[in-house]
Amino acid sequence: MSTENEGTAVPPAPSAPPVPVESPAASPQPPGPQGGAPTPPPPSTPPQMPGAAPEPAAAHTGPPAGHASAGSPEGAGAPGAHGPGAPTHGSWPPPPPTTPAYGDGGGSGAGWGSSYQPPAPNPGGRRGGMVAAVLVAALVAGGIGGGIGYTLARNGDNGGSTTVSASDSGAAQVKRDPNSIAGVATRALPSTVTIEAEGTSGQGGTGTGFVFDTQGHIVTNNHVVADAVDGGKLTATFPNGKKYDAEIVGHAQGYDVAVIKLKNAPNDLKPLALGNSDQVAVGDETIAIGAPFGLSNTVTTGIISAKNRPVASSDGSQDSKASYMSALQTDASINPGNSGGPLLDARGAVIGINSAIQSSSSGGLGGSGQSGSIGLGFAIPINQAAYVAKQLIKTGKPVYARIGASVSLDDSTNGAKITDQGVGGASAVEAGGPAAKAGLKPGDVITRLDDHVIDSGPTLIGQIWTHKPGDKVTITYQRDGKEHMVDVTLGARVGDSS
């Protein structure tokens, strides 16, 4: 399935295509309250200007083609932008998907889920996506309020109507259940940040992250910070307005996970509790926190719609590389800017990292620009993300499980076929590798890994990457019309590039 990283779609895994969500361009934010004081609540919605409406962003998705070394970054090739006619061989870094999108707004000018559409530069050289989004939203909401107010006033003058206001005498004493959505949001929001990433050439965007430990490590998506990897600038802003410079500790492009660290981190950080994504069930309630279209500290809710959804995504740029995941699917609203934010369960424990969305080909909202939510959001399971984050904190580099074989990335529903030839003319089955030791050969079609159905190359890669090097898995494959089963001990690869 291919998805939009709130920004772009990659090699579609037949079951369902998602896209990473990209966030709108980052823009300067006014200084927050000093001394850790909470940010004052926004004023009531102002009247709306007739006809004012937010401009949606378009997102595209297209079927990728190619092959890659299953479970290994160097072989996990993302489908090319040429569609079905593209070559069936892939290499690492893989070619960019035809139309993926990210859920945040960073990474090569785009966030995972929606293509990055940089606004026209302002005189100061900074982007104004966040400010524009806030202004448009205010105008839209204000128009409705203004119309109602005018109607009531006119009716009051002509018809003597009387309005009744609810008493607010006890508003300050309202007690909400700590396990309610409001209670969970109150506890979780102070441990989330809005991330602004800016490259050396000025391109960038916004995304989200959450506090991972008391040492100042923040977990987010790789595509959120990609613009700042080579000498760019990173900042993280808490809901109380406090803003910190940050640096990248490590990033894993294949997993789409990154860890940044706050400079001069405060000593009162409260890490979010991590849940167990393996125990999540379809129908469980979910709460997503992020900065959709630059609107920081936004909370949305939904349910787990599906598990183990194969997702391949990239930011859609010419030099983009594919990311693969066996994702949690949710209908909680996720939009550009949500990338890297936590997906919580009903207790407030993190069960995933919001990373990608599937959007309609028309751009979701009927116009051009960044795509928006249509109820198909995808999150990296926290069990996998936490493992990757700990590796990045420890060594600065990701470690990938692999089988040592190249598989086709063609859109298929029949399985993952081991190609006749590997990347650059190399053998499709690495000599002495895990697949070779298990007796796998070119032409074999892998249809199952343990209890998971494998319908394509991207699905196989995503499933392999949920495991750790050294894990033993059972692979079911077809050869000459007959089904076989074999145990394979997964190998390891360190780093994203060959």
Which DSSP string corresponds to 5-55? SBB-B-SPPTT---BPBPPPPP---PPPPGGGPPPPPPPPPPPPPTT--PP
Residue pair 6/338 in contact by the 8 Å Cβ criterion: yes
Q: Bigger pLDDT: 152 or 338? A: 338
Flag whether pLDDT at 328 surpasses 60: yes
Between 405 and 119, whose confidence is greater?
A: 405
**Is 339 among the residues known to form the active site?**
yes
- Helical ranges in 189-248 per DSSP H: 222-225
Give backbone dihedrals phi and psi of 194, rounded to 5 degrees, phi first: -100, 125
* Spatial CA neighbour of 467 closest among 386, 381, 402: 402
Report angle CA 183, 188, 194 to the nearest 5 degrees: 135
Q: Give the pLDDT of residue 231.
A: 85
* 447 and 371 inside one domain: no
pLDDT category of residue 337 using cuts at 50, 70 and 90: confident
Closest by Cα among 305, 304, 329, 325 to 313: 325
Q: What is the pLDDT of residues 268-294, one digit of tens each?
A: 999 999 999 999 999 999 999 999 888
Flag whether 48 is in a domain: no
Q: In this structure, what are the phi and psi dihedrals at residue 310, rounded to the nearest 5 degrees? A: -70, 125
pLDDT at 86 over 60: no
The predicted pLDDT at position 308 comes to: 92
Structurally, the chain folds into a number of domains equal to 2
- The pLDDT of 228-251, averaged and rounded, is 94
Alpha helices of 169-283 — where are they, by DSSP H?
181-188, 222-225
Closest of 145, 128, 133, 121 to residue 54, by C-alpha: 133
What pLDDT does residue 319 have?
Answer: 64
- CATH of residue 452: 2.30.42.10
pLDDT of 425 reads: 80
- Evaluate if pTM is beyond 0.75: no
| Predicted local distance difference test score (pLDDT) of residue 200 | 87
Same domain, 282 and 422: no
Whether 166 is covered by a domain: the verdict is: no
Of 395, 416, 445, the residue at which a domain comes to its end is 395
Mean pLDDT of 112-132: 36
> Is the domain of 134 the same as that of 203?
yes
**Boundary (domain end) residue, out of 348, 375, 395:** 395
Q: Is 60 a catalytic residue?
A: no
Q: Check whether 347 has a pLDDT greater than 80.
A: yes
| Cα angle 187, 275, 390; round to 5 | 100
What band does 203 get if pLDDT is binned at 50, 70 and 90? confident
Across the range 413-419, mean pLDDT stands at 89
- Out of 67, 89, 217, 223, which one is annotated catalytic? 223
Annotated catalytic residue, options 277, 339, 355, 371: 339
CA distance 309 to 2: 10
Catalytic residue among 256, 331, 455, 496: 256
Q: Which residue has the higher pLDDT, 317 or 388?
A: 388
**pLDDT at position 286, please?**
97
Mean pLDDT of all residues in 300-304: 96
Cα gap 263→3, rounded to integer Å = 34
Same domain for 386 and 237: yes
**pLDDT category, 371, cuts 50, 70, 90?**
low
Q: Are residues 372 and 450 in the same domain?
A: no
pLDDT at 67: 40
307 and 387 in a single domain? The answer is yes
Average pLDDT over residues 158-186: 76
Least trusted range by pLDDT, from 5-14, 54-63, 169-178, 248-257? 54-63
Does residue 60 carry a pLDDT above 60? no
Q: What is the spatial distance between Cα 171 and Cα 175, in angstroms, rounded to a whole number?
A: 9
**How confident is the model over 350-361, as pLDDT tens digits?**
999 999 888 764
Most confident of 92-96, 317-321, 332-336, 402-406: 402-406
Same domain, 290 and 424: no
Measured between alpha carbons, how far is 105 from 23 in angstroms, rounded to an integer?
Answer: 2
From 362, 395, 428, give the residue that closes a domain.
395
Return the CATH number at 246.
2.40.10.120
Mean pLDDT lowest among 41-55, 149-163, 474-488 = 41-55
- pLDDT value for 480: 92
What is d(CA 2, CA 419) in angstroms, rounded to the nearest whole number? 21
Higher pLDDT, 476 or 128: 476
- The mean pLDDT value for 243-260 works out to 95
Domain identity same for 237 and 293 = yes
pLDDT, average across residues 121-139? 32
Same domain, 367 and 411: no
The span from the CA of 403 to the CA of 366, in Å, is 43
Model confidence at 63, pLDDT cuts 50, 70, 90, reads very low
CA distance 349 to 334: 18
Q: Is the pLDDT of residue 314 over 50?
A: yes
Q: With the C-alpha atoms ordered 106, 109, 112, 113, is the resulting torsion angle positive or negative?
A: positive
Task: Assess whether 376 and 264 both reside in one domain.
Answer: yes
Residues 386 and 436 in one domain: no
Give the length of the chain.
498
Question: Is there a catalytic annotation at residue 27?
Answer: no
170 assigned to some structural domain:
no
Mean of all residue pLDDT scores within the chain: 73
Is 426 found in the same domain as 372?
no
pLDDT for 304: 97
For residue 466, what are the domain limits? 403-494
